[in-house]
Amino acid sequence: QQKVQQSPESLTVSEGAMASLNCTFSDGTSDNFRWYRQHSGKGLEVLVSIFSDGEKEEGRFTAHLNRASLHVSLHIREPQPSDSAVYLCAMSITSNTDKVVFGTGTRLQVSP
Amino acid sequence: NAGVIQTPRHKVTGKGQEATLWCEPISGHSAVFWYRQTIVQGLEFLTYFRNQAPIDDSGMPKERFSAQMPNQSHSTLKIQSTQPQDSAVYLCASSLDPGGDYTFGSGTRLLVI
């Protein structure tokens, strides 16, 4: 089954500095990748969906996918204290299922 | 659109009691998912339905957990004879299309004492 590892486990950045989060997966069969954010005590909200190699931007959030290196990243431009949350990457297990597997998460703290 | 609604938000049960968790998906969404979240294990898939039919329950502990979707407006997750290790946040999500974005509820925090 697809395994997903996220790094770093936690990250502290200053307000306005770029934040970069990483996700590696165990095989290249997935074709459906997403980044979610979870504020404390809340559900998850989707930030960016990406389905092909390259870059996808949604506002201040940019995802990069490189299936050959089994890697997807998230870059947050000009992070704000309100961006402090846990960020999870998610990928479908195969192309013909709704089910996804989530990474373990990166806890981001943005300091003013 | 009120989003995915989960009730109750918090539930405390004694060991051995039954717990029933409710989820109301977004109207028109055809898939409903249940996940369990703990600090140690992260987000674990439990089960999902599409068009009310159970599709995959491979994540469900077989003996005490069951899920149903009697109509398109709600799903339930039932845990019989709850154990302390069942303590977790149980998250429900729905999606419109196959492979589409999930919309999550705020979760039910279950504490078994």
What is the predicted pLDDT for the residue at A93? 67
What is the predicted pLDDT for the residue at A92? 81
Percent of chain A with pLDDT strictly greater than 90: 71
Percent of chain B with pLDDT strictly greater than 90: 86
Is the model's pLDDT at B13 over the cut of 80? yes
- Cβ–Cβ under 8 Å, residues A97 and A85: no
Q: Round to whole Å and give the CA distance between A105 and A107.
A: 6
Query: Average pLDDT, whole number, for chain A?
Result: 91
Tell me whether residues A44 and B104 touch, CB distance under 8 A.
yes
Segment A16-28 shows an average pLDDT of: 91
Segment A5-13 shows an average pLDDT of: 95
B83 Cα to chain A: minimum distance (Å): 23
Using a CB-CB cut-off of 8 Å, the residues of chain B touching A105 are 42
Is the model's pLDDT at A95 over the cut of 60? no
* A41 in contact with chain B, both atoms CB, cutoff 8 A: yes
Of A95, A99, A104, the CB nearest to B42: A104
The encoded tokens of residue B5 equal 């609604």
Query: Average pLDDT, whole number, for chain B?
Result: 94
Tell me whether residues A98 and B33 touch, CB distance under 8 A.
yes
A95 Cα to chain B: minimum distance (Å): 8
What is the predicted pLDDT for the residue at A31? 76
Tell me whether residues A45 and B104 touch, CB distance under 8 A.
yes
Of B42, B99, B103, the CB nearest to A32: B99
Q: Kindly indicate the confidence band of residue A1, based on its pLDDT and cuts at 50, 70 and 90.
A: low
B105 Cα to chain A: minimum distance (Å): 5
- Region at B106 (left for phi over 0; alpha for psi -120 to 50; beta for the rest): alpha
Tell me whether residues B43 and A43 touch, CB distance under 8 A.
no
Runs of H (alpha helix) within chain B? none
Using a CB-CB cut-off of 8 Å, the residues of chain A touching B56 are 97, 99
Identify any residues that bridge with B109 across adjacent strands, giving them in sequence order.
B10, B89
Q: Kindly indicate the confidence band of residue A43, based on its pLDDT and cuts at 50, 70 and 90.
A: confident
Q: Kindly indicate the confidence band of residue A94, based on its pLDDT and cuts at 50, 70 and 90.
A: low
Using a CB-CB cut-off of 8 Å, the residues of chain A touching B50 are 98
Q: Round to whole Å and give the CA distance between A74 and A46.
A: 12
Select the more confidently predicted residue: B20 or A43: B20
- Cβ–Cβ under 8 Å, residues A4 and A91: yes
Select the more confidently predicted residue: A32 or A66: A66
Phi, psi for B90 (deg, rounded to 5): -105, 120
Tell me whether residues B102 and A104 touch, CB distance under 8 A.
no
Is the model's pLDDT at A101 over the cut of 60? yes
Segment A87-92 shows an average pLDDT of: 92
- Cβ–Cβ under 8 Å, residues A93 and A2: yes
B94 Cα to chain A: minimum distance (Å): 10
Over its C-alpha atoms, chain B yields an Rg (Å, rounded) of 13
